[in-house]
Amino acid sequence: MDGVEPVLYPLLRRDLIAQGPRYVVQIGDKVIDYNEDFRLFLATRNPSPFIPPDAVSVVTEVNFTTTRAGLRGQLLALTIQQEKPELETEKTRLLQQEEDKKIQLAQLEDSLLETLATAQGNILENSELIDSLNQTKASSALIQESLQESHRLQASLDQERDAYLPLAESASKMYFVITDLSKINNMYRFSLAAFLRLFQRALQAKKEEENTEARIAALETKLKNMVYEYVCRSLFKADQLMFAIHFVKGMHPELFQENEWDVFTGSIVGEMFKKEELPSWIDQERHGAVAVFKSTFPALYQTLCLSDSDLWLSFLQSSHCEQEIPSSIAKKISPFQQVSFQSTLELCRTFISMHIFLCKSVF
C-alpha cells in the first residue's frame, strides 16, 4: 500500500453501529458485520510512507526497516555472546535488576501516597504512620543506591563491550554495501538473515590471537572474505568486478579523495570546454576526458607532468601500460588516482587497472 484509503476511515475509527446483539460498520456502500477480534495490518516497502493528518491518530506506524545503528547493536550483541558470553549475561542481569528496582520504587511511592491519603487524625501524632514513612524513605534510599551502583557497573560493562564495536560497525557497513546491489539488478537481493548466518560463521573462527584488537582484525578480515565470496557466487560474471570496486568504496572510503569516485563513475560530466593545449601524445578521442580530469583535479594534473613526453615514453610504448606509470609519478599519487588517470587516457585498460588496484589495496 502507498497510503490509507479514505474508505477505510470508518473501520479505523471504529465507527460501529449497534444492530441488536451485533455491531456493524459501513465501508463504502456496504454494511458489514464487525468482529471484536478483527485487526487490520497494512504493509508497504516504502520506509517513510505518507500518512494523512486525519489518519495519524487512528493508525499505529511500526517501522521494521533495518538501520545502521540498529543492525550495529544487534551485531555487537551477537559478537559479545560468542566472544565474551559472561559480559552479555551480566548485562542482562543488571538490566533485569534495574527494572525490578524501578518497579519497587514505584510501588513504594504508590504505597506512600495511599498511606497519606487514608491517614486519619493528626498526621504528626500518628506514630505508626511516621514509622511507616521513615521505613519507606530508608527503602527508597537503598533502592536509589542500588540503581546508581547498577548504572556504574553497566558503564563498566559497556566499556568492555565497546571494544568489539569496530567489528559490528564494519559488519553493518558490509550489509548496506551489498543491499545497494539491488539498484543494479533486482535479482541481487540479500536477506538480513543470510548475512547474520555469515556473521555467526565468521565468529566461530578459531581463536589464535592473544589480544582483543588482533582478534577483531582477524574476524573482520575473515568476514570480509566470506561476504565477498558469498556475494560473488550470486552475481553474473560481468558484474563481479563492479561489485569488487563498489565493495572497496563502501568499506574503505579513505582510499578515495573528493570527486575521484564521481569522475570515475561519470557522475561529473564536462561541459563545453575551451580548446586547450594538451600534450600531443594523448589520443585525440580522449581530449574531452582529459579536459574534465584537468579541470576537476588541477593539482593532480600538474603532478603528472604530462607535458614531459620523455617521462611517459615507456608508458606509451608498453602493451601493459597500467604497469608502466613512471615510478617518480606513482610515488606521488594514490592507487585509485592511478586507476582514474588510466581510465581517462585509455578506457580499454580500465578493467586491468581496477584488478591491480583491488589486489594491491584490499584483496
pLDDT in tens, the chain (363 residues): 677 888 888 888 888 888 888 899 888 888 889 888 888 888 887 777 888 888 888 888 888 888 888 899 899 989 988 888 887 777 777 778 778 878 887 887 787 777 777 777 676 666 776 777 777 777 777 777 777 777 777 777 777 788 889 999 999 999 999 999 998 898 999 999 999 999 999 998 887 777 888 889 899 999 999 999 999 999 999 899 999 999 999 999 898 888 888 888 877 765 545 556 777 778 788 888 888 888 888 898 888 888 887 887 777 777 777 677 888 888 888 889 888 888 888 767 788 888 888 887 765
Please enumerate in sequence order all residues whose Cβ is within 8 A of that of 326, keeping only pairs 6 or more positions apart, or say none.
311, 312, 314, 315
Q: Are 345 and 286 in contact (CB under 8 A)?
A: yes
Q: Compute the Cα dihedral for 284, 289, 290, 295 and give only its sign.
A: positive
Domain ranges of the chain: 6-57, 68-204, 254-362
Full DSSP string of 108-169: HHHHHHHHHHH--S-GGG-HHHHHHHHHHHHHHHHHHHHHHHHHHHHHHHHHHHGGGHHHHH
Q: For the full predicted model, state whether its pTM sits above 0.75.
A: no
Full DSSP string of 201-234: HHHTSPP--SSHHHHHHHHHHHHHHHHHHHHHTT
Cα–Cα distance for residue pair 48/238, rounded to 1 Å: 34
The rounded Cα 278 to chain-centroid distance in angstroms is 44
Closest alpha carbon to 38 in 22, 50, 52, 54: 22
Cell reading at 328:
617518480
- Half-sphere exposure at residue 162, Cβ-oriented, CA atoms within 13 angstroms: 6
Cα–Cα distance for residue pair 78/87, rounded to 1 Å: 12
Cα–Cα distance for residue pair 91/71, rounded to 1 Å: 19
